[in-house]
């Protein structure tokens, strides 16, 4: 039986842990070569070792999504190693829990550079490689905060902007072989969400608001696993989702309805 991503190559930013790593492992199981990026070399080495041990083909690169030079360097290495890139998963992100009055310029700039500008630059680089082949898929890992902005101002704003980037690219390439969608996770177990999933968060202004608006944050609904998000990303990346373009797919147990 043919695997869903056989002979495909995927670049997955923030791929050494959490949703990114779960996606990388799932993609490899479905026949893809993967290129993961992260900030920590030790985490990359451990992730790649696990993937390779399972029989997958993968490389890892230390790369900062806030650096404008990063996307071109990552794609160049991916193409040098595997021949071409078929799928981009923009997963790297930084979070915050500060409301508007407590958001500094430095925090806003850092969050914007990783979650918004970095996503834009990776999308632009991917599209330049996809256009000549009239083929390629971009999946942006957004958040339910993109539509129900109860997290920190910087984080929620950048996720809303990511949704707009997703739809704009989808409209631009509608009717071609290039697709762009987003997955918008609800509360999912990861290093980023440990304060909630492990019950250690100090319930300040923003956290309290999140608990008010989203039942996932009050433990009314159990948090999801990273694989739940990876499954959605796989669907949109493969031919199973070839009729889907410009969609922000919420994977949140219906908590943000």
**106-130 pLDDT per residue, tens:** 999 999 999 999 999 999 999 999 9
Q: Is residue 210 part of a domain?
A: no
Q: Is residue 3 part of a domain?
A: no
Quote the percentage of the chain above a pLDDT of 90.
Answer: 74
Strand partners for 224: 188
Q: Is residue 47 part of a domain?
A: yes
Q: Is residue 137 part of a domain?
A: yes
- Give dist(CA 206, CA 10) in Å, integer: 35
122 is catalytic: no
Token pair belonging to 158: 């950048």
Residues 85, 50: contact at Cβ < 8 Å?
no
For residue 32, the enclosing domain spans: 9-192+222-251
The single residue of 116, 122, 155, 217 carrying the catalytic annotation is 155
pLDDT at 75 over 90: yes
pLDDT in the model for residue 204 = 47
Q: Is residue 199 part of a domain?
A: no
Mean pLDDT of 228-250: 98
Helix (H, G, I), strand (E, B) or coil at 256: coil
Q: Is residue 243 part of a domain?
A: yes
Three-state helix/strand/coil letters over 30-68: CCCEEEEEECCHHHHHHHHHHHHHCCCEEEEEECCCCCC
Cα 237 to the chain's mean position, in Å?
12
Residues 192, 18: contact at Cβ < 8 Å?
yes
pTM over 0.85: yes
Token pair belonging to 241: 């989702």
- Give dist(CA 119, CA 112) in Å, integer: 10
Q: Is residue 150 part of a domain?
A: yes
- State how many domains the chain has: 1
Mean pLDDT of 162-180: 98
Q: Is residue 66 part of a domain?
A: yes
Q: Residue 54 sits in a domain of what CATH number?
A: 3.40.50.720
Instruction: Work out whether the CA dihedral 105, 122, 232, 53 comes out positive or negative.
Output: negative
């Amino acid at each position: 039986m043919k695997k869903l991503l056989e002979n495909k190559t995927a670049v997955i930013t923030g791929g050494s842990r959490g949703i990114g790593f779960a996606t990388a492992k799932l993609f490899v199981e479905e026949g893809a070569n993967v290129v993961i990026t992260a900030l920590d070399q030790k985490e990359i080495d451990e992730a790649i070792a696990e993937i390779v041990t399972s029989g997958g083909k993968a490389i890892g690169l230390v790369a900062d999504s806030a650096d404008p030079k990063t996307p071109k360097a990552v794609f160049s290495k991916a193409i040098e190693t595997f021949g071409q890139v078929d799928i981009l998963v923009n997963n790297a992100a930084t979070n915050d829990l500060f409301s508007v009055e407590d958001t500094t310029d430095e925090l806003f700039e850092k969050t914007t550079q990783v979650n918004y500008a970095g996503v834009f630059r990776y999308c632009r680089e991917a599209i330049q490689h996809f256009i000549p082949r009239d083929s390629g898929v971009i999946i942006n890992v957004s958040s339910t905060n993109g539509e129900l902005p109860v997290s920190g101002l910087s984080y929620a704003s950048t996720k809303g902007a990511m949704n707009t980037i997703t739809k704009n690219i989808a409209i631009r390439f509608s009717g071609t072989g290039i697709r762009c969608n987003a997955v918008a996770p609800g509360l999912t177990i990861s290093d980023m969400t440990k304060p909630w999933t492990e019950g250690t968060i100090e319930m300040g202004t923003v956290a309290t608001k999140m608990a008010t608006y989203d039942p996932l944050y009050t433990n009314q609904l159990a948090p999801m696993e990273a694989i739940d998000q990876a499954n959605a990303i796989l669907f949109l990346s493969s031919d199973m989702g070839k009729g889907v373009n410009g969609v922000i797919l919420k994977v949140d147990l219906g908590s943000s309805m």
